[in-house]
Amino acid sequence: MDPEYVLTMRVSKKTDVYAFGVVLLVVLSGRPAVDMRLEEDQQSLVWFAKKCMEEGRVDQIIDPYLKLEIQSSSLEEFIKIVEKCLLKQPKERPSMAQVVANLELAWENQQGAPTSMAQEMDGNWTAQFIDPMSDERYINSERDVFGDADILGEDPNFEKFRNGFDTHQRYEAEPYNPQDVVYQEEASKISQSPSFEQSIRIFSFSELKVATSNFRDDLKIGEGGDGIYYEGRLAGHIVSDSLVSVKRRTPQSFHSLKDSQDEMCMLRTLSHPNILNLIGYCDEKDEFLFVHKFMKNGSLDKHLLFSRNAGVQPLSWGLRLRICSDVARGLAFMHSLERPIIHRDIKLSKILLDETYNVKVSCPVFAWFSPMSMESTHVSTRVFGTYGYIDPEYMATGHLSLKSDVYSFGVILVEVLTGLRSIDPQRPREQHSLIDWTKASLSNKRKFRRIMDPCLDGKYSMGAALQAAQLALKCLASEQKMRPSMREVLQILEQIQSTNQIR
């Protein structure tokens, strides 16, 4: 799948071109696009092939059976097509008409060349790439359509996105993943702990039916891919502390009953002022429900420009800094555990606010235990997350690390600064992706002022805002190794808070 499409939800003809480039690689190599049985650096065919092409090791990606018959000139032309199809920027990819023209040329070279690659290759064969867009054979070339008037359509999930649902894309690429076993073993240890039953309450289904007035529609406070959220009041209590949030898994939920049970076991390990702790749960037959503290001010996305209603006051600049610091503190805690946990889906709707705007980070079912070994910097797993927040390196390679959360936090910082949604198809086409649109403005004081949330009415420190923008840019670095840790992010935010002065 085209990484640009996953990150921005924009689809064009060039989205198909990228996918076709992957198909060409599969044909050339004789292996699937993702194979978790291979060494980590070879599991993603695209990532491995690009590295081989850059280093002149094209022979390592070719099916051994083809080496005996493929002609060098044909291979060179074929590789040119693949390289162009897989370019990161859609506008730089060729059209399918141009791809067809080059494939025909590769076929002609295969039919007419006298020697095969095996005859010419000595183990150090290097393909010389030339720009196919400048080749005279490209006639009647199609104009680029990405970001232009020929966008083919919107993702079917856009409507859900507009209505406030979580839009997830899960990839089931591998039949087996050792990390799944590790996670299940960890969950099993937790659930068998002697203190487990004493630390959280087990509710009956009938108790939670009473608490939510039989899951009355007007008590519904949210809905997402993981279930429906209801406001509830525990029986026998009349004080405000008895208010709870009840999450009920539905048949339409994207995760299974087993996933919910694993989520409950993981939540048991998390106890921190900025993490949404589990009060209790219900596990009866096919029903699985979570009970959390009721967060009066809801999720952070309800308080920003794009979704705020008339009854919600704008968040002040100082409060925004405090909220971001609290989120960073919660993530830094998760990352600092003896067995660090990667959130994997941190976003505005997972940041909950109580009556005094204290932050509680909600952890998803697919949060992930990171490697225990210091030599291991990531795990290889199926890609999971939300459009607009997914780490591009994780998307391209399947390598999930603590720095994947850092990228998502960078997106959140930009949303808090601008008051705008990370992905919004209702904005002008070139502005659909907030990060693509604003990245160049984050380091320019004059341009940056234009993208700051107008609801702040100028009541913020430009120096502090620019520091926050610079921090966001560091978090959004394309390579994981170039991003700061969440501990470093927290330290920088605390420094910004301490020096913040409203001009």
**Catalytic residue set:** 345
Return all residues near 382 (Cβ < 8 A) that are at least 6 apart: 170, 171, 172, 173, 174, 177, 398
Our CA angle for 382, 388, 391, nearest 5°, is 45
Residue 375 has a CB neighbour count (10 Å cut-off) of 5
Task: Collapse the DSSP code of 426 into the 3-class scheme (helix H, G, I; strand E, B; otherwise coil) and give the result.
Answer: coil
Pairing of strands 201-202, 220-224: unpaired
Give strand ranges (E) for 341-435.
341-342, 351-353, 359-361, 368-369, 379-380, 399-400
- The helix/strand/coil state of 360 is strand
Nearest CA to 352 out of 344, 361, 343 is that of 361
DSSP string covering 54-106 = HTT-GGGGS-HHHHTT-BHHHHHHHHHHHHHHT-SSGGGSPPHHHHHHHHHHH
Spatial separation of the C-alpha atoms in residues 137 and 104, rounded to whole Å: 10
Half-sphere exposure of 272 (CA within 13 A, CB side): 22
Per DSSP, the three-state class of 263 is helix
**Three-state SS across 292-337?**
EECCCCCEHHHHCCCCCCCCCCCCCHHHHHHHHHHHHHHHHHHHHC
- What is the Cα–Cα distance from 420 to 415, expressed in whole angstroms? 5
Using CA atoms, how far residue 380 sits from 145, 176, 376, 397, in Å, is: 34, 11, 11, 8
What type of residue is 225? G
Token readout for 409 is 């936090």
Indicate the SS3 state at residue 387: coil
Residues 6+ apart with CB under 8 A from 151: 10, 11, 12, 145, 429
CA distances from 46 to 96, 169, 171, 480, 482 (A): 19, 19, 16, 18, 22
- Of 167, 218, 219, 191, nearest to 386 (Cα)? 167
Find residue 119's DSSP bridge partners.
none
Coil, strand or helix: which one is 28? helix
Helices 317-336 and 402-418, packing angle to 10 deg: 170
